[in-house]
Amino acid sequence: MRIHDLTTPALLVEAEALEHNLATMAEALPGPRLRPHMKAHKCTNLARRQVAHGHRRFTCATVREVEGLASAGLGEDLLLANEVLDCSRLGRLDARVTVAVDSIETIEAAARGGVPEVLIDVNVGLPRCGCAPDAAGALADRARAAGLEVRGVMGYEGHLMIVDDRVKQAEGVAQAMELLSAAHAQVGGEVISAGGTGSYDLNQLATEIQAGSYALMDTAYRGLGLPFRMATSLLATVVSASAAYAVADCGLKALGMDHGNPEIEGARVWFCSDEHVTFAAERAPAVGDRVRVWPAHIDPTVAYHETLHVVDGETVIESWPIDLRGW
Amino acid sequence: MRIHDLTTPALLVEAEALEHNLATMAEALPGPRLRPHMKAHKCTNLARRQVAHGHRRFTCATVREVEGLASAGLGEDLLLANEVLDCSRLGRLDARVTVAVDSIETIEAAARGGVPEVLIDVNVGLPRCGCAPDAAGALADRARAAGLEVRGVMGYEGHLMIVDDRVKQAEGVAQAMELLSAAHAQVGGEVISAGGTGSYDLNQLATEIQAGSYALMDTAYRGLGLPFRMATSLLATVVSASAAYAVADCGLKALGMDHGNPEIEGARVWFCSDEHVTFAAERAPAVGDRVRVWPAHIDPTVAYHETLHVVDGETVIESWPIDLRGW
């Protein structure tokens, strides 16, 4: 199949760039040093490619991601790096499942739901989930008293993923990891899980890095100068054109918009509406032309699409279902 | 089923508020005076409710929306209010299909794809699709020469949907409709299709209004003081709490973010991340509490969800698939 035959908007990943990204990360963080994050692509076929590169343990953000990997036979070691109050679906899986806890309630939910292993989630500076670092030891005791195995700690320095100055970023990551290290000293266990694509090469503490976006990439991460290539774009059709601007059929229902507008090469994007992007191009496109639209935030972009088409130039090699969307 | 039993985040619509909104609109714009826009809910079951209120003609933004209504037996008169270059799927449907055209290329696509009827789409001020008003007559001639039936014109005053001052909004709509009226004088035909939820009671020219958001509503439209109630919210679970803030499991993958953050009653929303909303509440919630999150833009929010749960207080009355997502 040729990409020209795809219905637009279509989510494309360049096979060579994807392979480059997977290989580059696997060389930097081989085997269990990386726990790829499913939230960035929600695609079982892509997870299999990560397994082929030596990464057999996965990070998930939703119960459905855990369920999907388990039923695909990729359940060797799955971490739900998120707090959940209903663990009943997790406890039924034929997989090794570990869940993050940061409160008595989430500990009780894990025990009640039959999830035997937990990580104590520690707040390392991002105001989101995670207990205060000095509360981690008491929570670990509580978890063990509830019959749970405490494998260690996690602490996501998400507020430090995209920082322009890499020296300042490294300092920030080091400070965040001092908090996690202090918590780990109270908690014990073999696992210190942290990090992401923006800090995969800066985080000196974590035993495993939870990066996900490195595989597909987006314009926000591109700005960091990491060795990962822009692999993923939306193929769109120019459906209307005037002297001043053109309109393509890739709108905000095909794009995560929380990081702002997408980019179009050789053009200035004016705005997105539900099904359209309006842009001014250096060379005015004709109605019917195809353009590539580069998303600003890959994770929510992927979640809008049913299919990820793996392409080599103009040829569609494979079409992978984005099968782990929803909750 | 009780809403407590739903997996969160869950998209809820209050049955009574939905009924109020549908009835209010049907009274203001009965029967063919409204052509409800499917893009706002993408849900065949909700379309059936609109039919029950007398609206049997629909507006669509995507080919899939048209296909879905046709296969549901709701194809009496479907307008694809969007330009498409491949009309082959539309031409095969057992339904009356009209497509918007604004160029020679889109006219040729309609003729080639077997779509017999068109509206000339006119730019009335929003820099998106639509021909220049003074080009409409020539395009209509061209369409007729290609064997197409030209039913009239459409022109969406989308830049005037959300304006704080309703007097200024009414003036703007009137000016936009002067452009459409001039184009209609060149084109002819019975149909003048325009308008939306923000201008449904201001647009004096259109023979039919393309409103969609009125059924479910969102915080952006709420600010206009229209007679429609906030019917739709996300049910979320508080998964983490500290002294300063709490975190619920309704993030930017459950919410269209292009109109900004959602609202939570009695709370200040700090930010959304992929699967979380961090907020500070007047009364600190406990882990496990449920909260209602009100979306800022309903259309892209719905497109993230598989199911719309119709509720009456704590009871889930029906669960409707959001079956016309994608393209």
Statement to judge: residues A124 and A255 lie in one domain:
no
In B, minimum Cα distance to A87 occurs at B7
Is residue B220 included in any domain, yes or no?
Answer: no
Q: Provide the pLDDT confidence category of residue B311 given band limits of 50, 70 and 90.
A: very high
End position of a domain, from candidates B214, B240, B260: B214
CATH code at position A7? 2.40.37.20
Same-domain check for residues B51 and B90: yes
Residue A181 belongs to some domain of the structure? yes
Give the containing element (helix H, strand E) for B75. Answer: none
Per-residue pLDDT at A236: 98
Contacts of B7 in chain A (CB under 8 A): 63, 86, 327
Q: Is B197 on the interface with A (CB under 8 A)?
A: no
Residue A116: what residue type? P
Residues B169, B235: one domain?
no
- Please indicate, yes or no, if residue A218 is contained in any of the structural domains: no
Predicted local confidence at residue A234, as pLDDT: 98
Q: Does A158 sit within 8 Å of B275, measured CB to CB? A: no
Amino acid at B112: R
Residue-level pLDDT at A189: 98
How distant is the Cα of B258 from the closest Cα of chain A, in angstroms?
A: 6
The total of other beta-carbon atoms located within 10 Å of residue B207's CB is 16
What is the residue whose two structure tokens read 């099968």?
A: A323
A206 inside domain: yes
Pick A240's closest partner by Cβ from B102, B244, B278. Answer: B102
- Amino acid A159 reads H
| Of residues B125, B150, B129, B155, the one with CA closest to residue B140 | B150
The 10s digit of each residue's pLDDT in B132-141 is: 999 999 999 9
Last residue of a domain, one of B192, B214, B236: B214
Both B190 and B260 in one domain: the answer is no
Is B253 in contact with A300 (Cβ distance < 8 A)? yes
For residues B80 and B192, membership in a common domain is answered with yes
Q: What is d(CA A262, CA A254) in angstroms, rounded to the nearest whole number?
A: 11
Are B275 and A61 inside 8 Å of each other by CB?
yes
pTM above 0.95, yes or no: yes
Which of B7, B128, B274 has the CB atom closest to A278's CB atom? B128
| Residues with Cβ within 8 Å of residue A34, at least 6 apart in sequence | A25, A26, A55, A200, A208, A209, A211
Q: Give B326's pLDDT tier (boundaries 50, 70, 90).
A: very high
CA distances from A29 to A53, A202, A203, A318 (A): 10, 12, 11, 27
What 8-state DSSP symbol labels residue A285? P
Cα separations (Å) of A89 from A70, A86, A119, A207, B287?
Answer: 11, 8, 18, 28, 19
- In chain A, % helix, strand, coil (3-state, to 5) comes to 30, 25, 45
Examine the domain organization and report whether B119 and B264 are in the same domain.
no
Determine the distance from the C-alpha atom of residue A316 to the mean position of all C-alpha atoms in its chain, rounded to a whole number. Answer: 24
d(CA B155, CA B130): 7
With beta carbons less than 8 A apart as the criterion, state whether B119 and B101 touch: yes
Which residues 6+ apart lie within 8 Å of A19 measured at CB? none
> How many domains, in total, are found in chain A?
2
Considering the domain architecture, whether residues B47 and B164 belong to the same structural domain is answered as: yes
The arithmetic mean of pLDDT across residues B273-299, rounded, is 97
Which residues are within 8 A (CB) of A181 and not within 5 positions of it... i.e. 6 or more apart?
A192, A205
Residue among B84, B247, B270 minimizing CB distance to A239: B84
Through-space distance between the first and last CA atoms of chain A, rounded to whole angstroms? 32
| Claim to verify: residue B204 and residue B121 sit in the same structural domain | yes
Alpha carbon distance B35, A19 (integer Å): 48
Computed over every residue of chain B, the mean pLDDT equals 97
Query: What integer is the mean pLDDT of B105-132?
Result: 97
CA dihedral A135→A139→A140→A142, nearest 10 degrees, is 150
Q: Are residues B71 and B187 in the same domain?
A: yes
**CATH number of domain containing A148:** 3.20.20.10
d(CA B71, CA B67): 6
Q: What is the pLDDT of residues A141-161, one digit of tens each?
A: 999 999 999 999 999 999 999
User: How many Å is the Cα radius of gyration of chain A?
Assistant: 21
pLDDT in tens, B22-33: 999 999 999 999
* A63 DSSP 8-state letter: H
List of chain B residues whose C-beta atoms are within 8 Å of the C-beta of residue A84: 239, 249
Task: Tell me how far CA of residue B252 lies from CA of A127, A304, B273, B326, in angstroms.
Answer: 16, 11, 6, 18
Q: Please answer yes or no on whether A106 and B287 come within 8 Å at the CB atom.
A: yes
**Is B48 part of a structural domain of the chain?**
yes
Work out the average pLDDT over B67-73: 98
Chain B residues in contact with A239 by the CB 8 A cut-off are 82-85, 106, 129
B327 in any annotated domain: no
> Are residues A100 and A204 both part of a single domain?
yes
Which residues are registered as beta bridge partners of A57?
A77
Q: Give the span between the Cα atoms of A49 and A55, in whole angstroms.
A: 9
pLDDT digits (tens, 9 = 90+) for A241-298: 999 999 999 999 999 999 999 999 999 999 999 999 999 999 989 999 999 999 999 9
Residue B144 lies in a domain: yes
Instruction: Kindly state whether residues A184 and A254 are assigned to the same domain.
Output: no
Split at pLDDT 50, 70, 90, the class of B98 is very high
Q: How far apart are CA A139 and CA A108, in angstroms?
A: 11
Residue A225: per-residue pLDDT: 92
Among candidate residues B182, B214, B246, the one where a domain is terminated:
B214
Does residue B171 share a domain with residue B262?
no
> Which residues in A100-124 are b (16+ Cβ under 10 Å) and which e?
bbbbebbbbbbbebebebbbbbbbb
| Beta-carbon count within 10 A of A54 CB | 16
- Residues of chain B neighbouring A306 (CB-CB closer than 8 A): 326
Sign of CA dihedral B65, B133, A240, B217: negative
**Cα–Cα distances in Å, from B210 out to A323, B176, B198?**
33, 15, 10
A273 contacts in chain B (CB < 8 Å): 128, 158
CA distance B44 to B322: 7
ipTM above 0.95, yes or no: yes
Between CA B57 and CA B47 the distance in angstroms is 10
How far is CA A136 from its chain centroid? 26
Centre a 10 Å sphere on the Cβ of residue A131 and count the other Cβ atoms it contains.
24
pLDDT at B77: 98
**Average pLDDT across chain A, whole number:** 97
B221 in any annotated domain: no
CA dihedral sign, ordered A244, A248, A254, A255: negative
State the alpha helices, DSSP H only, in chain A: 15-28, 44-52, 63-71, 88-91, 104-113, 136-145, 166-187, 219-222, 298-302
**Domain that residue A313 falls in:** 3-11+228-321
Q: The tokens of A103 are what?
A: 């409160």
Q: Does A30 sit behind a cis peptide bond, omega within 30 degrees of 0 on the bond before it?
A: no
